[in-house]
A and B are shown apart, each in its own frame.
Chain A
Amino acid sequence: MATITFENVAKIYSGQNEVRALDGISLTINEGEFVALLGPSGCGKSTLLNLLAGFEKATEGTLLFDGETVTRPGPDRGVVFQEAALFPWLNVWQNVIFGPQVQGVARADYEPRARDLLKLVGLEAFAGALPVQLSGGMRQRVGIARVLAMSPRALLMDEPFGALDAQTRLSMQQLLLDVWQSLGTTVLFVTHDIDEAILLSDRICVMTARPGRIMRTIPIALPRPRSIASLTSPEFMAYKAGIMSDMKV
């Protein structure tokens, strides 16, 4: 069953210089599938994610989530932002329970789940800390936990590890692999990092800029469960070589 369907979607920013940020995007993402959008900055991959999140509206085409037209943001599509976008005045615990709280979920229902999620991302000792007291990687763990606290149907991740140092990024990728392995949520993952896209996803959509289009879709058949050790396997290298020649880098 298809969870996410883009049909001929275009996004045009009108103005003095009209910009076709996205053009003729057709893409179907199945339930439980991990799809990466890979491309250089300015290719519209974040715009595509914003359309699905309901932050922006498509100019042309149809965009369906679970068979329904996307009109506004909602807790069925959990978004993980590049800079975490945590509420700086709330501590880690308050940030994680924000979603269920504003949706009116009973405390008895969300508290055990939130506690489990904090443990899952390794931050149970930091429940009372403010975001400013955490490192970038820890902040992003909170960003992931607060989204999972809502049990979303899909995770939309916008270069979530782009601002982290190389080592932290590796451990976050491992964490995401583990989480995804156990939850099996549909994921749309935006990145400009070829390694990251191959390591994580079932399918990579390579995008080109101006206008933003999907140039090629590459299924990644690396065996699951994966770990960051997969980064050095010969199959991995073969995929990487192929994508690099596609992107002409």
Chain B
Amino acid sequence: MSLSTERLSSRPATSPAPGFASLMLSPARRRSLRQGLLALVLPAVVIAVWQMAGTDGSLFGGVLPTPDRAWQAWKVWAFGSTGLSLNPYSGTWLANLVFSAERVGKGFAAAILVAVPVGLAIGWNRIASGALDPTVQLLRPIPITAWLPFSIAVFGIKDLGAVFLIALGAFYPIVVNTAQGARDVERNLIRAAMMMGAGRWTVLRRVVFPASLPSIFTGLRIGLGIAWTAVIVAEMVAVKSGLGYVLWDAYYVGRMDVVIADMASIGLLGLVSDRVILLIERWALTWRRLQSFQS
């Protein structure tokens, strides 16, 4: 009898009543929820202080709009009617965002298509390394901003110029990281493949490439960040559309609320595209994730 009461009394601690259970989160879920809330604290504080400091219109001599005005500007920019409005930005947000994203997509894809094979060649083959690596290292210190006049002169005020700058900027981190990954492949893995009858090409495709993937993804993430920098720079100078163009144009006509909304849009887009790469990486490198989790 005493045993059964003891059991009863200890029950709520180990297994809560079913009605309450649906509200309970697993410890892992609770931890990620807490991390998510924690991440929001600092931005919320910054925005709140900025809002309060700016309400009397005196922030930096009235130049800087408050967050709520930037938010209003974004709403018109995103959802306002086009054409009839006096506001030239009204309703053009999505179109400009697509212009920028498309350029980044094209330039980044071109960078991957060239940088991954070149990087593998540099890391895997001594002749390719000797022939290509010095040139890559020689050109790498030239910032993409320095390529702007060259790009405009060669490609004109056109899409291709922007795509060229983006591809060039993303190329270097991808090629350098891919080459490093290919150089670092464990010797016994290559020996094992050769022992099983794999020729040089098969070793490259089935051993060196998958073994380099962790480094390649590191390069992709750095390269994508540079691609977003490049697209804004290119659009400010070399084309007449996109978030970068709007940014510079809005600054010229004194629409700082649009400038702020534009900056936030760029940041958000960069964050989302980085998460996409991260998701692909997690899917492609399951073996790697298990390895690091267990060690």
Contact = CB atoms under 8 A, between A and B. Distances in A.
Interface of A: 53-55, 72-75, 77-79, 81, 83, 85-89, 98-99, 102-103, 130-133, 146-147, 150
Nearest to B292: A132
Given A88-B287, A89-B213, 14 more contacts: A74-B195, A77-B195, A79-B192, A81-B188, A83-B188, A85-B189, A89-B211, A89-B285, A89-B288, A102-B197, A103-B196, A130-B287, A133-B290, A150-B197
B54 interface: no
Contact of A85 (B191, B285, B286, B294): B191
Contacts of A146: 196
Interface in B140-193: 186, 188-189, 191-193
A81 B189 CA distance: 10
A89 B191 contact: no
Given A75-B197, A130-B290, A85 B210 contact: no
B290 A132 contact: yes
B187 to A, nearest CB: 9
A210 B287 CA distance: 41
Contact of A102 (B196, B213, B287): B196
Contact of B197 (A74, A86, A133): A74
A124 B90 CA distance: 64
Nearest to B285: A89
B197 A99 contact: yes
A113 to B, nearest CB: 14
27 contacts: A53-B191, A72-B194, A73-B191, A75-B197, A78-B195, A79-B192, A79-B195, A81-B191, A85-B189, A85-B192, A86-B192, A87-B189, A87-B193, A87-B207, A88-B291, A89-B210, A89-B285, A98-B193, A98-B196, A99-B196, A99-B197, A103-B196, A130-B287, A132-B290, A132-B291, A133-B290, A147-B196
Nearest to B210: A89
Contacts of B202: 102
A201 to B, nearest CB: 22
A72 B195 CA distance: 9
A127 to B, nearest CB: 15
Listed residue (B189, B197, B288) with the most chain A CB atoms within 10 angstroms of its CB: B197
Contacts of B290: 130, 132-133
A102 B198 contact: yes
Interface in B195-223: 195-198, 202, 206-207, 210-211, 213
A159 to B, nearest CB: 13
Contacts of B197: 74-75, 99, 102-103, 150
A83 B194 CA distance: 17
B192 A81 contact: yes
B149 to A, nearest CB: 45
A74 B290 CA distance: 32
Contact of B196 (A72, A75, A88): A75
Contact of B287 (A74, A99, A132, A150): A132
A201 B47 CA distance: 76
B256 to A, nearest CB: 50
Contacts of B193: 87, 98, 102
B196 to A, nearest CB: 4
Interface in B240-287: 285-287
Most buried by B among A79, A102, A130: A102
Nearest to B192: A85
A55 B193 CA distance: 11
B206 A102 contact: yes
B190 to A, nearest CB: 9
A50 to B, nearest CB: 9
Q: Which 7 A-B pairs have the closest CB atoms?
A: A99-B196, A85-B188, A75-B197, A73-B194, A103-B197, A73-B195, A102-B198
A81 B196 CA distance: 13
Contacts of A55: 191, 194
Most interface-central of A86, A88, A130 (chain B CB within 10 A): A88
A213 to B, nearest CB: 25
Contact of B195 (A53, A86, A130): A53
B81 to A, nearest CB: 53
A75 B202 CA distance: 14
Interface string B74-100: 000000000000000000000000000
Nearest to A91: B287
Contacts of A133: 290
Contacts of B213: 89
Contacts of B294: 132
B287 to A, nearest CB: 5
Contact of B191 (A79, A87, A130, A132): A79
A102 B210 CA distance: 16
